[in-house]
Amino acid sequence: MPNIIKALKTKKPFSKTEYRAWNFSSTPEANIEQNESTQKPDRTINHGVSRALAGQKQGVSRALAGQKQGVSQAEAPQKQGVSRALAAALAKTDENFTIPPEGKELDLLLFLCDVCIKTCSLKTTEITTKTLNSYLGVNSNRLRNIVLRITKKNLIKIVAQNCSSAGAYRIFEFSKNVYDKLLLKLTDSKLSAQSKEALAEALAEADVVSSYINNTTNIPENFKQIDFSPLIDFGFDESHIIQIYREYTKKPELSLSADIIQNSIYALAFDLKHNNVAESFKHSPTVVLTALLKKGQPYSSKTPEKVLTPREEAMQEYTSAQKKKNLKILEIETHTKELAQQEWLNNLLDEELLEFNQNCDSCPKGMPIKIFEISKRKKSLALAKEYFDTIIWPTKQKQILNSE
C-alpha cells in the first residue's frame, strides 16, 4: 500500500494517452487511503458525510438505472422490428440497382430527382440537352454517354426524346425505388447555385405549374374527356390540359372549346406522323401546342384535307389491310382454280371434250373442214370450262380445304 501512495505522489501529470492507465490504477481503495493520510483531523467528519452521501446517491442511481433499463427493454423490440423492415426494404431495392456514390452520373440523377420533386411526379418535364450540358459542364457526346450508363444501370429510363439539333430534349422517368433512394441522398446534400439556376431554366422551358394546379377536380367534364393519347409519346398529357384550362380562367377571351382543342391534338399528331413537322419546330411539339392553345390559337395541319382522327385512321388502315388481304386470297384461289381446271382438262379425252358441243356435228356448206373443227373445239372447250366452274370446282375446292 505505501508503494501505491508513493507512486501517486510522484506520478507526473497524465496526458491523453495515459488516461486509461491512470484511471485503471486509481482504485477507490487507493484514493481513500491517500485521503486518510493527507487530510487533517477536522476534515474527517466531512469525509464521513461525503461517504454517507455517496451511499445515498448510489442507491438513487441504482433505482433510476433500474427504471431506465426497464423502459429501454420495453422499447428495444419495437425499434428492432422497424430496423429489420427497413433493412429488408433496402436490401430488396439494392438487388436491381446501385446509386453511384459520386461523379457526373450522381449529379445528373440528383438534378433530375429535384425536377421530379418540383413537378410532383416520377416523370420529368422536357429537359433540353443545352440545360444538361450547362449544368454538368460537359459536351453533348459526354452527356450522351452519361445518360446511356445510368439507363443501362436501370436507374432511370427515357420515355420521350427529340434528337433534332434545334431543340433536342429528353423526358426521363424514375422507378419508385430509385426515386426514394435519391430523395434520401438529396436530403443529405444541398443543390449548388448553378444547379438551382439550371433547374429554374428547365422548369421555365416546359412551363411547369405547381402541384396544386395538377388537379382535375376543378376542370369541366368536357375537358376531362379530351383524348391526348395521340401525343403522349411526345410528353403531352393531362397536366397540359389543366394548364390550358387554367389560362382560360384567367383570360376567358382566349378560351377555345374542348372540341377545337381535341381537333388540334389530332391535327398535330397527324402532321408529326405524316408531314414530319417536328423538324421545323424550335421547341418540342408539346411546348408548341400548349403555347398555341394558351393563346387561343388552334393548330392547323399542313394538309387539312387529309387529316384523320386516330379512330378514322385506324378504320382506314383496317379497311386497306382487309382489301389487300382479300385480293391476296382471291389471287391464290384463282391461281389454284386455274391449276385444278387445267389438270381436269388434261385428263379429259377428245371424245369427252367434243360431247360438250353436240349441236355442231355437221360442217356448214362453204366452210372449210379445218375451220369447222377449230370452231367446234373452241366451243367445246368453253363449255367444258363452264361445266368445271359450276359443277366440278365447288366439290374440288372443298376437298382442297379439308386436306389442309
pLDDT digits (tens, 9 = 90+) for 326-364: 999 999 999 999 999 999 999 988 888 888 877 766 777
Structural domains for the chain = 2-73 (no CATH), 104-206 (1.10.10.10), 216-307 (no CATH), 335-403 (no CATH)
Tens digits of residue pLDDT in 5-20: 555 555 555 444 444 4
Mean pLDDT, range 387-393, rounded to an integer? 92
Among residues of the chain, what percentage have pLDDT more than 90?
Answer: 29
d(CA 65, CA 297) in angstroms, rounded, equals 77
Across the chain, mean pLDDT equals 75
**DSSP assignment of 214-281, as one string?**
--GGGS-HHHHT---GGGGGGT--HHHHHHHHHHHHH-GGG---HHHHHHHHHHHHHIIIII-GGGG-
23 or 323, which is more confident: 323
What pLDDT sits at residue 242?
92
pLDDT band of residue 310 (cuts 50, 70, 90) is confident
Q: Which of 155, 175, 171 is nearest to 103 (CA)?
A: 155
What pLDDT sits at residue 370?
83
Rounded to a whole number of angstroms, the CA Rg of the chain reads: 46
Most confident of 25-29, 80-84, 249-253: 249-253
- Cβ(290)–Cβ(243) below 8 Å: yes
Among residues of the chain, what percentage have pLDDT more than 70?
Answer: 67
- How many Cα atoms sit within 13 Å of 106 on the Cβ side? 14
What pLDDT sits at residue 201?
52
pLDDT band of residue 173 (cuts 50, 70, 90) is very high
- Cβ(286)–Cβ(235) below 8 Å: yes
Tens digits of residue pLDDT in 117-151: 877 788 898 888 888 888 888 898 899 999 999 99
130-157 b/e (C-beta count within 10 Å ≥ 16 → b): bbbeebbebeeeebeebbeebeebebbe
Measured CA distances, 14 to 8, 17, 35, 88, 373 (Å): 11, 8, 20, 48, 141
Q: What is the pTM of this model?
A: 0.40
The neighbouring-strand residues paired with 127 are 170
H or E element that contains 170:
strand 169-173
The neighbouring-strand residues paired with 162 are 169
Q: Which positions ≥6 away from 234 have C-beta within 8 Å?
A: 160, 162, 272, 284, 285, 286
210 or 375, which is more confident: 375
d(CA 126, CA 103) in angstroms, rounded, equals 23
- How many Cα atoms sit within 13 Å of 159 on the Cβ side? 19
10 or 100, which is more confident: 100
What pLDDT sits at residue 301?
92
d(CA 323, CA 389) in angstroms, rounded, equals 24
